[in-house]
Each structure stands twice: as structure tokens, then as C-alpha cells.
Chain A
Amino acid sequence: MSEKFDVIVVGAGPAGTSCAYTAAKNGLKVLLIERGEFPGAKNVMGGILYRKQMEEIIPEFWKEAPLERPVVEQRFWFMDKESMVTTSYKGLEWAQEPYNNFTVLRAKFDKWFADKAVEQGALLINETVVTECIVEDEKVVGVRTDRPDGEIYADVVVLADGVNSLLAKKLGFHKEWKPEEVALTVMEVMKMPKGSINERFNVEDNQGVSVEIFGESTKGALGTAFLYTNKDSINIGVGTTLSGMIKKKMKPHQLLEELKSHPMIKPYLEGAETLEYLAHLIPEGGYNSIPKLVGDGVMVIGDAAQLVNAIHREGSNMAMASGKMAAETILKAKELGEFTERNLDSYRTDLYDSFIGKDLKKYKDAAHTFEEHPVYFEQYVPLMNRAMSTMFTVDGTAKWDKQKKIMNSFTAGRGKLGVAKDLYRAWRVVK
């Protein structure tokens, strides 16, 4: 029989690497298997990395990690065809240690992070695809890869293989995701001189901006677009639930092209040159879609476990936190001497008790509700825009009359009761 490890982690994204790092640091013999040419080679993320969960793995990582810019301003744009209503918060406390969050390019970041796990003693092998878990007596005992002599064994296999998680599916932990459980996102990295970024976004060299865009950017479908500033490039992308794309018969690249040429966006992109075009799924099923997380000798973490808070675009942080919790559970199970589902189950309970379980529970009906009731994205965003336009256009109409007109425009389509219901429904799912 070939070599045996304490832990095999499949996938060197934020989830897998966090798990490998924590396990190796605590003396376990860890094998981290990645299918890409190197970790991050094909990984896709809008680009916001949260300080808190990363810091819990590597304190003061910002002193060393390849980050782009600390985000000092978060903007929200509610866009109609030729207008937008905006709101934002900018705070210079975010421009100083310990910062709040950062923009990153995953190809650089993931590689750096995986190298850190290797420094802790994890063995990393790239360009190797895990094809399935080896199951003996209903217990996962290792993995099979696409390489010759490709079987390798471990006490625990941790599945961090991202959104599709074919491996967990093969084990019967979940079914094929439904179109409303995943969002299809496309994005581009566009080269832009540092000076132009600073000027256009009104920041200094080491300050970044995140922009979330709602409404026309997804043609009213449930989803968002984003624009994030890197050091000398920007990330722009858009995504909606797969079901939204299907319903509206939209093609993702077309959505992105339209976004890029939207009059509210275009001036920001002047002269920018596309470096990369990327497409990826985001698991957005939330709380109700979390699959079976633990079995005998196996655990599921990160996107593979649907751990994404779509409303707050948090995914990488949940991936990291879940990876760390999984590693800590393995350490405890090692003391108990057995890696049964029972001994590994504290990972599941820890996860549900943490901010991950709580936040996903809080929004468990949000996506579903907004999907069922498209009024929020389709109608209220344009209405908001028209309201602002009416209010601030000086045309001799008295403000009282304007307010009445605005109120009427809100209730015209849906009736007073309808609006009240919409508001109540929205409040209920995000309260």
C-alpha cells in the first residue's frame, strides 16, 4: 500500500489552504492536492479579502501577503438606464493597520498562501486532479487521482474543491445544484495606470474602493455587478443566479459588455485594457443548501459546502474559517484516536454556532424571496432613480407636490398595500 498521510486536502483555494496550514502547523502530516498549474492559477474572485478571518490564520499577514489595496471606501450604486442613486461610506480608519479588507488578485494571493502552508510543513502537489474518494467499509480512506499509481491514503480527507464539488456529490452528500442555487459570474481584470485609478476613484496610492452595483447592471435579475480597484488594474464583473440568466435569456459576457459601455461606468474604464477574462460559479443557495458536511473520514469546507453569504459577498472568509475549524476538529479527533463521523461532527456544530451558520441562517430566505419577487431589482431601483430625479429637478413645482407625485409613482403599479407588503417582505428576510 502506498504512503499514508494524516490529512489529504483536495483543492488549494482559501478553504483548503487554511485547513492545510492549520493542520500542518499543529504537526499533522498533510498532503494538499491542487489541479491547477499552481494554486490560484484559475481561481476567480471579485477581489475582496476580509482581514479578520485571514488574520486568525496568519497574524499581520498584510505585512507580507501580495495584496492590492486596502479598501477605504465602499460604494453602492442603484443604477437605472441613464442615472443612478448612490450611497457610500469612506473612512480613513480603514487605511491604517489593521485595516478592514483588501482587494486581491487570487492568482497571486492563493499561490503565496499555499507557499505559507508549505512552510508549515504541508506537502503541495499541483496539476493533479482528484477523481474520487476511496471508500472502504463505508469509510473514506483516501483519494484516487488522475495520475498513474494515483491512489493515496489518509485518516481524513477534506474536500475543498470549490463550488461544483463533484467529490462530495459522488459521495452522495449533495445533488447537482439547482439553477437558483448558483450564480454565474463573469469578470475582467483591466489594466489601468495607478494615476488614473487614483484620480477616477479619488484615492491615494494605497487606498482602494469597492463598488457594488444593483439594478440595470443585471437587467433587474437577482444579482449584482462590481468594480474594485487593484494597484494598477481594476476588476469589473457581473453575475446573477443561473435561473435568472435563463429566465431573462441573458448571456453573461453580453451582460458584462453592456455594463462596460453603460454611461455611468464607461468613463471609469477609459483607456483600460483587458488582461484577463474569467467566468465562475458562486454557490448562493445559502443555509438551506448546505450539504452533509461530515462523514466517516471525510469533511466538506468552503464553497464545496455552499458557505457563501451572497448578500454581503462574503465567501473567501467563510472558506478560511471553515478550513480552520475543520483542521481543529481533526486535531481533536486525533486525540480521540478515531476519525469517525461522530468524532468529526464537532466541525459541523462549531460551524453552525459560528458567524457562518448564524449569518447564513439570517438570510436563509433572502435569495429565494428576491428571486420569487423580482420587483425589488426590476422596479424599485428605477423608481428610486425617478424619485431622485423628480425631487432634485428644479422646475417650479412645489416640493409637496413632488413628494405626492413620487409617492403616487411608487404605489401606482403595486397599490399601497402592495408596497407595504413588499417592504415588509424585504424587511423580514434581512432582519
Chain B
Amino acid sequence: MNILVCIKQVPDTKIIKINPKTNTLDRSSAPAILNPYDAHAVQEAVRLKEVHGGKVTVLSMGPPQAKVAIKKCVEIGADEGYLISDRRFAGADTLATSYALYKAIQKLMDEQGIDLVLCGKHAIDGDTGQVGPGIARRMEIPPLTNVIKVEEVDLKEKRMKVRRKIEDGYELIQSELPCLLTVEKEINDVAYSPLPNMIKAARYNPIVWTVDDLDDVDIKQLGLKGSPTIVGKMWPPEKSAGAEMIDGDVKKQAKALVEHMLEKRELFEVKGGEKV
């Protein structure tokens, strides 16, 4: 089973600062890390490989420093990593990103065959969650988003079953193979990498492709030129006011909560729990 995982290097948004003048991320203020969801995607691929055999390949679009994120994937257990890196990819929005990744996937598909594509649920910097479905659409394979568990893989019949997280529970879905999954963190725990993987990763040099290494690329669909997204305005979300904790037994809590909601919505003219 050959599995391809798309991975992105992102600034660690847990600690990143926002430039107060331009309202953009100050990328120098935070270290670049592997998008946390993508780490789970790679881990899942490695797990499936252990069961079904085959190979795990990771693919990323980004600047040369993104090699570090690819090496991290080798630590987790990926066999190979490709970086597509070229000035002409720069400034891509989700449409152009998924196009570029799709072109690289096509080439890998021709070279080695791909049974399954994995992505993270979303990237913690861009946050759109559109790249995965964008790739699936172009590949004309089913996108299964928000996957929390792979239930079954049947390579003979070329189909798989997964659990998708939905608002009030989960959904069990069967799909043909190949298909594309975007994964949630619940899907697995990223294991502490074994020492031989660490050594392999330290030695590993990802394969770098430029636009010229891809076939039949429409340059107009790449990078800034291929990106119809226009950023109108950016601003940090307003800080929400401090939360109020309600304690007591269930009855007491329910009462306090209802009172609070009624008061807040100004229904029934309730104040301090009393009708006025």
C-alpha cells in the first residue's frame, strides 16, 4: 500500500506574535514546526504501512527550510520525502497550493503508484482546511475530511472504511481507493520515534523538485498569479472576557446557567436570578 502524505511547515502559532502595525504574523517570532495535524497523518500512514506493507512518501511545497519538516516525518517513519520548491510557487493561496501539490502527486502516481493520500485537517497558520479537498477534487478521488479512525482497509476490493468526526458524534463511511483523508488529532498518538529513525532522518536529504521537474504545468495557475484570494483585512480576534465558573451540584449548576442565559439575553427581565 503506497501512501502519500502532504505536509506543511508552519510557524508555531502557539507562540507567534502579531505585528501590531500590519496585523500580519511576525514569522521570525516563532520557530517553524511540522503542522501538528500532519504529524498525525504521517503517523497514521506509518501505522497502515506496518499492517499492509508498502511505502510512505511525504510531499511538501515550501521554501528550502521546509526540508527540516520533511526530516521530521522521516523520524516518525516516512520512507521518502519530496519538496517542491521554486520562486514560481510563492504566494500561493489554497487553490494554487492544491494545484501545485496535485501536479507533483500526478508525477509520483505515474512513477510509483499511490493507493491513499493523507492530509492534516488544517494547517495551523492558514487554517482553511481547503488544500486536502482541493487536491482530491483535482485527482477526482473522494475526499473524506475530519477522519478520526481508519476502521478497515481492503486492498483486494480497493476500498476502505473510516470514522468521520461530525458535530454530535461520528459517521462511518466507506470509500473506494484511492481516496484522500484529512485527519484529526484523535486519530492516533504520535509515537516517540525510535533511535534508528532519528539516525536515518539525520542522514536523510529530501528530494527537491522545481516547477521544471513537473509535467504539463500551467504556469498561470501557480503562485501569486494562480491565486484569486484577496486578503481584504486582517485583525487579531478580540480577546473574550474572562469565563465565569459555575460550581455546585448538577441542579445548582443548571439553575445558575439558565439564570445567566436569561439575564444575558434580556429575556423575561431577569436580574440577579430574580424576575423584576
Chain A residues engaging chain B, CB cutoff 8 angstroms? 2-3, 31, 123-125, 128, 145-152
Contacts and interface: CB of A to CB of B under 8 A. Distances in A.
26 contacts: A2-B195, A2-B196, A3-B196, A31-B199, A123-B199, A123-B203, A124-B202, A125-B195, A125-B199, A125-B201, A128-B195, A128-B198, A145-B195, A147-B192, A147-B193, A147-B195, A147-B198, A148-B192, A148-B194, A148-B195, A149-B195, A150-B194, A150-B195, A151-B195, A152-B195, A152-B199
Interface string B184-197: 00000001111110
A397 B258 CA distance: 84
Contacts of B202: 123-125
Contacts of B194: 147-150
Given A123-B202, A125-B195, 17 more contacts: A2-B195, A3-B196, A3-B199, A31-B199, A123-B199, A125-B198, A125-B199, A128-B198, A145-B195, A146-B192, A147-B193, A147-B194, A147-B198, A148-B191, A148-B193, A149-B195, A152-B195
Q: What interface size band does chain B fall in?
A: 10 to 19
Nearest to A31: B199
Nearest to A144: B195
A123 B197 CA distance: 13
Contacts of B198: 125, 128, 147
A150 B195 CA distance: 5
Contacts of B195: 2, 125, 128, 145, 147-152
A92 to B, nearest CB: 33
A149 B201 CA distance: 15
B interface majority secondary structure: helix
A152 B202 CA distance: 15
Nearest to B202: A123
| Most A C-beta atoms less than 10 A away, residue of B192, B194, B199 | B199
Contacts of A2: 195-196
Interface in B193-223: 193-196, 198-199, 201-203
A94 B193 CA distance: 47
Contacts of A151: 195
A304 B199 CA distance: 25
Contacts of A152: 195, 199
A147 B192 CA distance: 7
Top 5 closest pairs, chain A to chain B, by CB: A148-B194, A149-B194, A147-B195, A123-B202, A125-B198
Nearest to A128: B198
Interface in B2-55: none
B26 to A, nearest CB: 14
Contacts of A3: 196, 199
B203 to A, nearest CB: 6
A150 B39 CA distance: 21
A140 to B, nearest CB: 18
Contacts of B203: 123
A387 to B, nearest CB: 50
A152 B195 CA distance: 8
A313 B199 CA distance: 36
B38 to A, nearest CB: 18
Contacts of A145: 195
A3 B195 CA distance: 11
A151 B191 CA distance: 18
A124 B201 CA distance: 10
A148 B77 CA distance: 13
B100 to A, nearest CB: 29
Interface in B160-198: 191-196, 198
